[in-house]
Structure 1
Amino acid sequence: MVGKKGSRSQARAEGLQKTDNNMDVTSWPVAGMINQKNYYTEYLKRDDQYLAYRTTQEENTNRMVKEARDRDRALAQSNGIPLADPSNAIDEDTHMEGMETAGSLQEPHGSKVIVIHPGSQNLRIALANAALPKTVPMVVARKWRHNESEENGGEPKPKRVKIDNEVSAKPEEWFGEDFATKYNTESSNLKIRMKNNKRKLMPNSKELVVNFNKRTQPDVISEHNDPQRIDWTEILPGKVPEYFTGHAALRIPDQSRPRYKLFWPLRNGLFNEHDYSQSNLLLNDFFLVIEEAIKSELGLKKKKEWQDYSCCFIIPDLYERKYVTSILDGLMRDFGFKRICFMQESMAASFGAGYSMACVVDIGAQKTSLCCVEDGMCIEDSRMNLKYGGADVTEAFIKMMLFDHFPYEEINLKRRYDLLLADELKHKFCTMNEVDVAVQLYDFHLRASGQDTRKYTFKTYDEPMLAPMGYFIPTLFDHSNKLFGRHKVIDRSYDLYDGSPNDPIPVAQAAVLQYSAQNAPSVANTAPDASPAVFAASTPSKPKPYSLLNRLPQDDTESTPLSSVAGSPVPEGTPQPGRDSPAPGMAEHTNGHISDPSAGRIRAAEERDSILPIMPLDTAIMLCIKEATRGDERKMKDFFGGIMLVGGGAKVAGFNTFLETRLRERMPNYNKEIMIGLPPRELDQQLVAWKGGSVFARLSSSGNDSWIYRREYDMLGAKLLAQKLMWAF
């Protein structure tokens, strides 16, 4: 009988006995337990652990090494001293920075930085060390079946109202009863105001103007006798370009062969989605104007040279995130700039004028932006963007002149030479001085390609003043087509985590939308349950909530909404919540039904997009300052004493005095403090923002950490904007 084996002998017999062969279980180091009562980590707690900060430090180090080598090379060439080690030169030769030999080899400061400020009508561009920028029309002319004045049956602009498919023979009926009523009402109000100000008035001024304009005839001047004839863009047969940009595009004859049509990539301060069917076509035209301006105006013909240049780009105060990210991507990938930084318009204007605290009112061609700036930073809740500008004044002025039998009845602002003529007439004759409101005799020359020059003589009365009054009575302007095509080819920006729109929504802009919805129903389509808004008054106080903001969660009242921690990221291409289908992880149960938490925010954004933001300029200034001060009496006085007008739309004679008087009438408690200022040193109002961008771009790298470099953009993309921009993005 075999004896029973023990467990140890059985394990040894079956090869299962555990033996110690002095070998570790694994070659990986074993981490000990953390003492949870006393532990510390420095992860992401120092600036040098961020890629954006390290890139700036590396650039500063490389710059110092380059400067040291240049100094050492200059000394060696001038005195015969052998080249020293660059590392020693950084410490030992710093006292020689002011030597002429070293400075002679260094390039002028700012000569490698391009400052770009695009607008709806003009582009300002130049190197940062230039005194003034180059001005280029923001337009592209492409080969097309018809030009812009021949489309839609060649209907003129300003649009003439047709009765039974025929335009009335009476100019008083061309623009409808609504315009005639508003025009006559404002004309009567101007007479009353002038009588109260003890101005002399002729009782039959209107009749004198109308009767003279009816019977005047133009004088024909042959082209060879016209010393100021225009050089039109020539299109040679066999060499027909696909496109023209800038001044050359505006000087193409309307009857050219082949036809060319004008495309404006920016309208009303935003991408012009109405005239484009695809986003890539829109962006191509936008960057094409900038590219041709760099080549022709700056002399940088080859793109290989651009990789050594930096770019400072000026964007609106109240921007759309897609606008900024699209520009950043295009400048980095297509243009290949070394580095890029962004600057807001009001901030740039304060830099250019040297104001540390101001309420900047920027009246452009098609938009008016307001923002209070304090210590070089825009106050986010005070940002406003109104959709009217100098181009609306031009159209209103021409309509009023035609109403009073303007002798050149065929004027059509869709024709290129008529558009330039109308802009010239506005700059010459429009005024806000009541002393100039009288029967005046003027003349102008009409120059068109292939036609003899015609000299017209005409009279005006109150039209030159009533047209700029549209800034304070926006309903005088035509707003009928300004909302066409919104987000047709470029969708709004959505938050990556909760799928809600995340474009900035300042409190002041929400108040503008509410005002427009209530006071301009013809151009705004808002919810029927809108409640009145409270605007700036003599006693500073926090405004009441507006109905549009009441529809949003509480955190949406901030200038830039924050991302929510709920849900998971939505990949690109996923249908956005509230438009196609709810995204995974974004739905919640309410009363037994599944609802999308971001759908309300999307509906609110769509409502905002359906309202055209317009408001009288004086009311907008008071509201802007009120939102910036938040009840601080001292700050309110400082901002009222530092209102600065910039932009080409404000270049109307007497505009500053008129605005100052109007504000004092509405704010009698601040009668002594209110003051409207202009940029100092006789700087052109249209160039102040660009000048501020050039000043900002020339700051040393150690004092300007908002530069985005190509290498870090390739790694992190547009996410860098959250760390690089000087404001909340």
Structure 2
Amino acid sequence: MAYTQDYMKTAVPTNLFNDRGSNIVVINPGSANIRIGLAQQDIPLNIPHCIARRTSQLPKRNVQDQMLNTQVTTAQHMERERAYDIIASLLRIPFLDEQAANSSYPRKMGRVDAHPPQNDMKEANFTWTDVFEKNVPHSSTTAEGDAPNEGGTSESPTLKESKIKVEPNSSARKYREYICGEEALRISPTEPYCLRRPIRRGHLNVSQHYPTQQVLEDLHTIWDWILVEKLHIPHRERNMYSAILVIPETFDNREIKEMLSIVLRDLCFSSAVVHQEGLAAAFGNGLPTACIVNMGAQVTSIICVEDGVALPTTQISLRFGGEDISRCLLWTQRHHQTWPPIRTDALSKPVDLLMLNRLKESYCQIKEGEVEAVAVVHSYEDGMPPGSHKTRLTALNLLIQVPPMGLFYPTLLVPDVYPPPPRSWFNDYDDMLEDTWQMDFPGGGAYPMWESYPIFQTKPKKEDIIGLAEAITKSILLTGRIDLQRKLFCSMQLIGGAASIYGLIPAVEERVLHAIPSHEAIDTVEVLQSRTNPAFVSWKGGAILGILDIGRDAWIHREDWIRNGIHIGSRRKYKDSFYVQAQALCYLNS
């Protein structure tokens, strides 16, 4: 053991990754995408976190989700209009009424002559997902419900009854039982499939329309499919691998426990450890102290880290993210009647949201004055091949500039289309981090569990709908120490997919500076550039923490979890280990 620790203290970081990273899988689950890969890899796989299952329900739903509030109310619409006018004034863009009167362009511009950018060319060869199994013999047209599915889990009677997957007029072709990832988003609406997203707005997507058991089965199936098909780790070899779960701070204790059970009990990893997403991001960029602003697809989460320890009292979650910017992009177009005359529905047609996300990534930016570009918009109508429509994107229709400003004026985004899961789901279960360690287990004694792991409230505090700048300022000021506050205001870190929007960093700096109360003795703010892709920095930090975790005392072994549901932890905190920090910084600076 002494030799191992000496080696860990002196080893070159590259050797550590080669030696230990080849059998560690890092899993960073998000609401819209999951980032997963071996710790020794430079970047993870980034896969849409969804699954489409064969269904025989009538009437068929294309998407199985909560969606309890899919209509924008009159009050929300008026708030959105007001937010629009404020942003238009700030960016020196015509107001809504002025635009209609002063526009030199026609109100409808479905097609214009221009060559599409290179990003759009890949859509020219768009094809719907092939939903049929390949090389299925003619004699295989039997009910699949008689045999267990690939994930080894049971399904609802409705799904079991639909397991005879034979295409009409062709008894040799059989429907695939489920389809995961981007392929699931590209299934034609005419096919008998229902899309499910097991995580929504930073929580398991539990609702009356999506029961708990289905959510957990879908998570298991998606993760198992990635391990087998993408990482090529078959079931028989799974016991030779360990898993690192990099979990967003938004998750409740029961949700963490359920995901650990999937990893250890169902996926059969030999051991696992949980790290917080914000803390992992700090290590991923070599920042022992920072304010981490994680802008995901559906949630923006803020937490402060001091000397390698996350400060739970500073954690703030905002219910909006990159997908809300994409939906706002569509609203601005339709509001000014510049969107082509096609039926685009980001909520019930997954392929439309996929298109809008790519338009956002290619064109959205924050910049004063006029900006002009030409994009290709695609239509995906039932039973029709995809169509292409060129449209001009200028300051006059505000596609480029207004939507990302919704991060600072969230009423523009109308983010509450997807409500949070029912809180009763979390209240009828033992608390993983607060209660279970006090229980008596076989063998005697009460085992302390993850004493160093921050404890978050099971019932989250009610947050007002505040903008990004106000939330960052509030989080940092909650530390209560002027020396730390000054350091954090100059060490802000933007991560997540939405962090790549052009012009966002100076916009954050300017608005955070103005959001600081005048009585606070702080006059300097700075956003630090990410050293790696902002979307993957938490995943990379999780890999670093897992590989440099001396002694591995925080790891949970499969047998212990199945037997006790807990882990005999230690009192070590990250700040107690000089070498964890030093080697993480050494790795990133090398």
> So what's the TM-score if we normalise by structure 1?
0.61
Q: Which residue of 2 aligns with 1:499?
A: none
Query: Contact 2:80–2:411 (CA<8 Å) still a contact in 1?
Result: no
Give 2:190's match in structure 1, choosing from 233, 255, 277: 255
**Structure 2: any 5+ residue segments left out of the alignment?**
116-120, 133-166, 168-172, 441-456, 576-590
Residues 355 and 139 from structure 1, CA distance in 2 versus in 1: closer, same or farther, beyond 3 angstroms?
same
Q: Which residue of 1 aligns with 2:241?
A: 309
In the alignment, does 2:469 pair up with 1:618? yes
Give 2:541's match in structure 1, choosing from 687, 692, 702: 692
C-alpha distance after superposition, 1:261-308 (max 9, x if no partner): 1000000010001265432221010111111111111111x2110000
In the alignment, does 2:174 pair up with 1:239? yes
Work out the percentage of aligned pairs sharing the same amino acid. Answer: 23
The structure with higher relative contact order (CA 8 Å, sep 6+) is 2
Give 1:138's match in structure 2, choosing from 43, 46, 49: 49
Query: Contact 1:212–1:458 (CA<8 Å) still a contact in 2?
Result: no
Deviation at 1:440, TM superposition (A): 2.9
Deviation at 1:333, TM superposition (A): 1.3
Residues 723 and 272 from structure 1, CA distance in 2 versus in 1: closer, same or farther, beyond 3 angstroms?
farther
Residues 338 and 180 from structure 1, CA distance in 2 versus in 1: closer, same or farther, beyond 3 angstroms?
closer
Deviation at 1:114, TM superposition (A): 0.4
Matched residues in 2 for 1:696 and 1:407: separation?
47
Query: Contact 2:203–2:250 (CA<8 Å) still a contact in 1?
Result: no
Matched residues in 2 for 1:114 and 1:341: separation?
11
Q: Which residue of 2 aligns with 1:186?
A: 83
SS of alignment partner, residue 36 of structure 2: strand
Query: Contact 1:220–1:453 (CA<8 Å) still a contact in 2?
Result: no
Where do 1:593-612 residues align within 5 Å?
Answer: 611=462
Q: Which residue of 2 aligns with 1:659?
A: 508
Give 1:384's match in structure 2, choosing from 316, 320, 342: 316
SS of alignment partner, residue 508 of structure 2: helix
C-alpha distance after superposition, 1:53-111 (max 9, x if no partner): xxxx7xx99x89xxxxxxxxxxxxxxxxxxxxxxxxx9xxx9xx99xxxx9xx974310
Q: Which residue of 1 aligns with 2:498?
A: 649
Matched residues in 2 for 1:205 and 1:114: separation?
52
Where do 1:99-498 residues align within 5 Å?
Answer: 108-144=19-55, 145=57, 148-149=61-62, 177-194=74-91, 205-207=99-101, 212-214=106-108, 216-217=110-111, 228-236=124-132, 237=167, 238-256=173-191, 259-274=192-207, 276-300=209-233, 302-409=234-341, 410-413=343-346, 414-435=348-369, 438=370, 440-446=372-378, 448=380, 450-451=384-385, 453-461=387-395, 462-483=398-419, 485-487=421-423, 490-492=425-427
Provide the aligned C-alpha RMSD in A.
3.9
Query: Contact 2:244–2:274 (CA<8 Å) still a contact in 1?
Result: yes
Query: Contact 2:114–2:374 (CA<8 Å) still a contact in 1?
Result: no
Matched residues in 2 for 1:202 and 1:323: separation?
44
Residues 441 and 131 from structure 1, CA distance in 2 versus in 1: closer, same or farther, beyond 3 angstroms?
closer
Query: Match for 1:266: what amino acid?
Result: I
SS of alignment partner, residue 464 of structure 1: coil
Query: Match for 1:415: what amino acid?
Result: K
Matched residues in 2 for 1:721 and 1:405: separation?
60
Query: Match for 2:241: what amino acid?
Result: Y
Query: Contact 1:276–1:282 (CA<8 Å) still a contact in 2?
Result: no
Matched residues in 2 for 1:247 and 1:636: separation?
42
Where do 1:695-706 residues align within 5 Å?
Answer: 695-699=544-548, 701-702=550-551, 704-706=552-554
How many equivalent pairs are there?
A: 499
> So what's the TM-score if we normalise by structure 2?
0.75
Query: Match for 1:675: what amino acid?
Result: E
Query: Match for 2:48: what amino acid?
Result: P
Query: Match for 1:646: what amino acid?
Result: I
> Comparing 241-250 with 304-313, which one deviates more in the overlay?
241-250
Where do 1:441-590 residues align within 5 Å?
Answer: 441-446=373-378, 448=380, 450-451=384-385, 453-461=387-395, 462-483=398-419, 485-487=421-423, 490-492=425-427
Matched residues in 2 for 1:191 and 1:234: separation?
44
**Rg larger for:** 1
Deviation at 1:209, TM superposition (A): 5.1
Matched residues in 2 for 1:373 and 1:454: separation?
47
In the alignment, does 2:487 pair up with 1:638? yes
Deviation at 1:429, TM superposition (A): 2.4
Residues 385 and 726 from structure 1, CA distance in 2 versus in 1: closer, same or farther, beyond 3 angstroms?
farther
Query: Match for 2:515: what amino acid?
Result: R
Matched residues in 1 for 2:323 and 2:96: separation?
31
